[in-house]
Amino acid sequence: MKATSKIGAHVSIAGGVDKAPARAAEIGCETFQCFTRSPQGGPAPALTDEIIANFKSEMKSFDFDRFHIHTPYYLNFASTKNHLRKFSGEVLREELDRGTLLGAKFVMTHLGSHADQTLKEGMDKVAETLKETLTGYKGSTELLLEISAGSGNIIGASFEEIGEIIQKVNGNLPPHSSMSVGVCFDTCHAFASGYDFRTKETARAMLADFDKHIGLHWLKLTHVNDSMFDLADKRDRHEHIGKGFIGKEGMAELLKTPEFVKIDWIVETPDDDRENDIEILKKIRG
């Protein structure tokens, strides 16, 4: 299968979101990911008509036809506190609406923690909050749930957990419905959670497991990060491609599968050498 994936990185929006395309182009990106607001808290900067026009002009200038948005880190759709769940849903809806204004393809999010309750109770709250958030949404930007690394009480470390939430939210919705949710597969997170894909055999077995519990038609994007820690260590620590426990060859076994050559690859490695990571991935893609 001919690769249709585009390769990029998470880039800064310092000075305004309209500065992101130039930063992405500078390090050799073909697409990119960014925040539209501070990931640590505070109100979202207004997206004025001028900022939106500048952003779209910069996208065109640097020949980008798509980009993706990451939600802030503080969202928790499983919180036992009603006001925190409601707030998380409101911020997510804002990001979907902002993504639609800017022309983002996907918004991806972490799910949160099931602290002070059972995993099932937390997962039920996630599904309920996501359904409420998407009710009435008619925008063009699609929502993705990110695989987590499995530390502590974080939800979304297993395909079973992600699959159950997606089934509750999507029901019989088609894969490109504005009210459906898909999956962002983070290589470091999945590896940390115990999923091995470093050989052809383990990659195929893992994808079969993904298909069984989630459905490969919901796989929409991948974060390509090597891991500072070994398989199943449940530590979310990104490393440059080829310098971690997954390795360049191990990463290639997954990325060259038919399922991964048709989705975009985004690196979230330390920003001291992301340009080299992008070049490595371009060579893997061929």
Whose CA is closest to 141, among 47, 207, 224? 47
Whose CA is closest to 143, among 100, 172, 180, 171? 180
Q: What is the pLDDT of residue 177?
A: 85
Tell me: pLDDT of 3 over 80: no
Backbone torsions φ then ψ of 111, nearest 5 degrees? -100, -30
Tell me: pLDDT of 219 over 80: yes
What angle is formed at CA 234 by the lines to CA 233 and CA 240, rounded to 5 degrees? Answer: 80
Which class does domain 7-285 fall in? alpha beta
Look at the block and give the residue holding tokens 């470093």. 198
Backbone torsions φ then ψ of 236, nearest 5 degrees? -90, 85
The token pair at 217 is 């038609």
Distances from the Cα of 208 to the Cαs of 27, 111, 155, 221, in angstroms?
35, 24, 21, 17
Average pLDDT, stretch 175-198? Answer: 95
Strands (E), the chain: 7-10, 31-34, 68-70, 106-109, 142-146, 181-186, 219-223, 226-227, 238-239, 264-267
d(CA 76, CA 137): 20
Q: What is the pLDDT of residue 10?
A: 98
Distances from the Cα of 94 to the Cαs of 3, 17, 71, 213, 238, in angstroms?
33, 15, 10, 30, 28
Reported confidence tier of residue 1, pLDDT bands at 50, 70, 90: low
Tell me: pLDDT of 55 over 70: yes
pLDDT in tens, 68-77: 999 999 999 9
Domain coordinates of the chain in residue numbers?
7-285
Query: Does the predicted model carry a pTM greater than 0.95?
Result: yes
DSSP state of 229: S
pLDDT in tens, 127-172: 999 999 999 999 999 999 999 998 889 999 999 999 999 999 999 8
CB proximity list for 75: less than 8 A, separation 6 or greater:
88, 91, 92, 109, 110, 112
Q: What string of DSSP letters covers 94-130?
A: HHHHHHHHHT-SEEEE---B-TTS-HHHHHHHHHHHH
Strand partners, 96: none
Judge whether 36 and 44 are in contact, CB under 8 Å: yes
The number of residues making up the chain comes to 286
Distances from the Cα of 234 to the Cαs of 13, 158, 187, 202, 226, in angstroms?
30, 12, 12, 19, 14
Judge whether 155 and 119 are in contact, CB under 8 Å: yes
Q: What string of DSSP letters covers 54-76?
A: HHHHHHHHTT----EEE--TT--
Tell me: pLDDT of 2 over 80: no
pLDDT in tens, 273-282: 999 999 999 9
Q: What is the pLDDT of residue 46?
A: 97
Tell me: pLDDT of 88 over 80: yes
Reported confidence tier of residue 173, pLDDT bands at 50, 70, 90: confident
CB proximity list for 116: less than 8 A, separation 6 or greater:
80
pLDDT in tens, 228-279: 999 999 999 999 999 999 999 999 999 999 999 999 999 999 999 999 999 9
